[in-house]
Amino acid sequence: MKGCRHARPIVPSLPQFIVDIAFFSGGEYYATETYTVPASTWFAAEQQALQMSVNSVYDDARIPDLSRTATVRTA
């Protein structure tokens, strides 16, 4: 139809979370990497950031007793 415009569907954006991943060796802190993650919940943001952190320069198989923690906050 002439002159008829189709409205674009409104796609809600996901909330942004800031996730700090702290890296430890044998229980001793040695680094933090921060990720900004769009996610539906804080738990999903935490899980995504933890998964992303395996590609961090701080994730190294040569580091003994490597562990990490996540702290999530809204952006």
Q: Are 65 and 26 in contact (CB under 8 A)?
A: yes
**Burial bucket for residue 70 (CB in 10 Å: 0-12, 13-18, 19+):** middle
pLDDT score recorded for residue 4? 56
Which structural domain, as residue segments, surrounds residue 22? 14-37+69-75
Spatial separation of the C-alpha atoms in residues 32 and 24, rounded to whole Å: 9
Domain count, the chain: 1
Residue 62 within any structural domain of the chain: no
pTM for the model stands at 0.81
Residue 51 within any structural domain of the chain: no
Any alpha helices (H) in 18-69, and if so which ranges?
42-52
pLDDT score recorded for residue 3? 56
Residue 55 within any structural domain of the chain: no
Tell me which DSSP letter residue 47 carries: H
**Strand pairing of 28-38 and 66-74?**
unpaired
- Residue type (1 letter), 46: E
Residue 8 within any structural domain of the chain: no
Residue 44 within any structural domain of the chain: no
Residue 1 within any structural domain of the chain: no
The residue ranges of the chain whose pLDDT is under 50 are: none
